[in-house]
Structure 1
Amino acid sequence: MDDAKTRTRRQILEVAAEILEREGAGAVSTRSVAAAAGIRAASLYQLFDDKDGLLAALAIHGFDLYLAEKNALASTDDPVADMRRGWDAHVDFGLRHPAFYLLMYGTDRPGRRPPAAEQASGLLRGFLDRAAAAGRLRIPSALAAQLTLAAVTGVVQTLIGLPAEQRDLALSTRMRDTLVDSLVTDPPPVADAGLASRALALDAALTTSAGAALPLRPAETALLRDWLHRLAR
């Protein structure tokens, strides 16, 4: 595509995006966009074929905006906290760009998703793979990603459907925490668990299990605890 066509395409998308965010997808037509952009409808058809092509391009544009924001999120040394931050950023984007969001995550045809949606899914998998590598996920990251996407898109679309004065972000927070808590395990006693801290953790477990039936004789338990205390020095 030459520079002139690239500039025209960008201009059309910017104008269409303004109409979309101001009036919703129903107001985006080839005629309205061409008129607002000051071009002939024939020029628009050459670049986007029809209204469906224009809306598909707008969905990709929306994912580009979304990915730019998500890529700007810095990771921390706590992958589970990053999962929660990623959820909150997703919800925030959807509520700031509701018309774009519905175009991005809704569909009028089964199996039809913009290519950029796969990049967004890849970012989500990245958060979850880090949690899995840290031993914090209860289930495979691919399944966790599907559950997370289903939950967060449901929350955003529910909130978008409510009048602004009735939107309560506590709904998002509660769903986020319920989902994340169901997906992750408790953290280890110490983030950087060395031999000493692991020995102390096992000694603590023996203490809390003192009333339970242990597969050791009392003398063996005492000997084990002596070894643990030596390892913990």
Structure 2
Amino acid sequence: MVTTQDTRDDVRAGIVAAATQLLGEKGANAVTTRAVAQAAGVQAPTIYRLFGDKDGLIDAVAEHVMATYVSGKSVAADGDPVTDLRAGWRAHVEFGLTNPELYALIATRGSGAPSPATIAGLDVLRRRVRRLAAAGLLRVDEERALMMIHSAGNGTILTLLGMPTGQRDLGLGEAMLDAVLTSILATTPVTPDTTANAVAVTFATVLPDLQGLTDAERALMAEWLHRSLTHQTR
């Protein structure tokens, strides 16, 4: 038995497929509400009803494309945390270069709020950075490390996408990652650093699990650690 929900899901999937095809074949400028509606065989109000606005539609396209891409990839989340981070970085750069129009739309999102795809990517990166911190490998606090890696990754992809395909320096990604790692990692990554910065960053990762402290005391201690780390990295 076909339900109303089945029909709604089918229509939604058809619109996402049409938008994805337009994006791949004709570029970002072709993905207008009118063009997508025509390609999907629906009225424009249907798109607004199902996705809210164009940003909502782009978010759905990004989710669809990323799910398809990730399903064919396998990035380990165990073993050496630096190796794990490198693998994630390479996969991110490859995705951006493989899906240039979509990546540009996500990166230049007009609403000011990050897309769900960006938020999901940051969550994955945050877990990788946490593993570095827990292993005593960071010399800056986790949030600073997260933002440095995220910013460098986006900048690298957009820079490469701005170059003619045949003239892209494909070694730029590795060089940028090495530069960031030099700034955020302890001098000898294979051996946990015992300097004040590295110890403070590592301690911050276990702070939520410390027994005998109130939430207010944990928050205060976290503030002290953050203040100390921020002061030392200026």
Superposed pair shares fold, TM > 0.5: yes
Find the aligned partners of 1:140 and 1:57 in 2 and give their Cα distance. 33
User: 1:13 offset after TM fit, Å?
Assistant: 0.3
Match of 2:77 in 1: 75
Q: Does structure 1 conserve the Cα–Cα contact (< 8 Å) formed by 2:15 and 2:36?
A: yes
Output the amino acid matched with 1:37.
A
Paired position in structure 2 for 1:39: 42
Q: CA deviation at 1:69?
A: 6.3
Q: Any runs of at least 4 consecutive aligned residues in structure 1 with deviations exceeding 2 A, and if so which?
A: 38-46, 48-70
Is 1:150 the counterpart of 2:154 in the alignment? no
**Residue pair 2:59, 2:116 contacting (<8 A) in 1 also:** no
| 1:148 positional shift | 0.5
Alignment gaps of 5+ in structure 2: 193-234
Question: Which deviates further from its counterpart, 100-109 or 7-16?
Answer: 100-109
Q: Deviations over 1:134-184 (max 9, x none)?
A: 111111112101010000100000001111001111111111111112211
Q: Does 1:118 align with 2:133?
A: no
Q: What are the equivalent positions in structure 2 for 1:77-226 lying under 5 Å apart?
A: 77-110=79-112, 112-185=113-186, 186-188=188-190
Q: Deviations over 1:105-128 (max 9, x none)?
A: 222233x11234222111001111
| Identity fraction in percent | 39
Q: Deviation per CA, 1:47-86, whole angstroms, max 9, x where unpaired?
A: 234434423433444554566567x311342111111111
Rg larger in structure: 1
> Which position in structure 2 is the counterpart of 1:13?
16
CA shift in 2, pair 1:44/1:108, >3 Å: closer
CA contact (8 A) 1:20 1:100 kept: yes
* Alignment: residue pair count: 188
Specify whether residues 148 and 188 from structure 1 end up closer, same or farther in structure 2 by C-alpha distance, changes over 3 A only. closer
2:57 partner amino acid: L
Q: TM-score, with normalisation over the residues of structure 1?
A: 0.72
What is the RMSD of the two structures over their aligned residues, measured on CA atoms?
A: 2.3
- TM-score w.r.t. the length of structure 2 is 0.72
63 and 146 in structure 1: CA distance in 2 versus 1, 3 angstrom threshold: farther
Where does structure 1 lack aligned partners over 5 or more consecutive residues? 192-233
- Is this contact kept in 1: 2:27–2:101, CA < 8 A? yes
